[in-house]
Amino acid sequence: MSSDLRFYAFNRDFQSFYILDQYLNKISQISFSDKINTMIRYPILVQGQMIWLYNPAENRLEQYTPQLELVSSSRNLSRDIGRLSVDQLLYHKNQVYLNDFDEGLYLFDYTGRYLRKIPLPRQTEKAQIDAATSYLFVFIHREWHVIDLHQRMVRPQKIELPEEFRRSDIVFQNKKIHRWNPDKVEVESIEYPMLQDP
């Protein structure tokens, strides 16, 4: 979900990216299969303006316009990284994060140039970035950990959560932690001291 109350969804089977309003009505659709001749995984739409994706056929990150015109790309990732498994892409403050659950995060600038690696222990769930705080949340050893992206030297710190929030399907957004409560049929939210401005 974006800060402008739009949802972005990707259907891997149909190779289509959907932009939905807050009521889940389709605003627009981008079909990758019309212009890109490879199976796309993990595309991310940045501020409704640009699309970043991992192209497995070329082994590189690529940036496109919503009309699927290529804007920029990284060089072949094997030149900078070597063996790689792409499990997720994230975008924050003009930087692209390629997440390899076994190795950690690889950081690229807005042109696709490789910057550095953030080594992490094995992750089992997709990482999350709370844009309001620049905190990165990773699920390691069945527990959530936080990393302050403002710091050059990063070390995951375990987050002490109330029992009902110790699950893999919680969401970190806008300095709060959110979870779905099926008994009350509502989203519950708590503030957490780790989410204060760094």
63: CATH: 2.120.10.30
Q: Can you give the residue range of the structural domain that contains 162?
A: 124-198
Q: What is the pLDDT of residue 197?
A: 44
Per-residue pLDDT, 193: 59
Question: Which runs of consecutive H residues, i.e. helices, occur in the chain?
Answer: none
CA 129 to chain centre: 7
The residue out of 119, 149, 165 marking a domain boundary is 119
Residues 95 and 55 in one domain: yes
> Which pLDDT score, from 0 to 100, does residue 194 have?
53
Do 149 and 177 have their domain in common? yes
Residues 7 and 88 in one domain: yes
pLDDT digits (tens, 9 = 90+) for 145-173: 999 888 877 789 898 888 888 888 899 98
* Residue 41 and residue 86 share a domain: yes
pLDDT score at 192: 74
Cα dihedral sign for 172, 145, 54, 134? positive
Distance CA 19, CA 133 (A): 25
Domain's final residue, options 103, 119, 135? 119
In this structure, are 56 and 151 located in the same domain? Answer: no
Residues 2 and 81 in one domain: yes
Residues of the chain whose pLDDT is less than 70? 1-5, 48, 193-198
Number of domains into which the chain is organized: 2
CA-based nearest residue to 167, from 136, 124, 133, 119:
124
Structure tokens at 158: 């375990």
Same domain, 20 and 87: yes
> Residue 49 carries which side chain, given as an amino acid letter?
Q
pLDDT at residue 19, rounded to an integer: 85
Domain boundary (68, 88, 119) is at: 119
Instruction: Say if residue 57 is in the same domain as residue 74.
Output: yes
Contact between 112 and 73 under an 8 Å Cβ cutoff? The reply is yes
- Tokens representing 106 are 């690889």
Predicted pLDDT of residue 198: 43
Radius of gyration of the chain (CA): 17
The amino acid occupying position 50 is: M
Give strand pairing partners of 70: 64
| 37 and 110 fall within a common domain | yes
Beta-ladder partners of 10: 17
Q: Do 145 and 167 reside in the same domain of the chain? A: yes
Q: How far apart are CA 128 and CA 190, in angstroms?
A: 17
- Same domain for 35 and 133, yes or no, is no
Identify the pLDDT of residue 165: 86
CA pair distance 75, 72, nearest whole angstrom:
10
Residue 76 Cα distances to 45, 56, 62, 102, 114, angstroms:
22, 10, 11, 20, 10
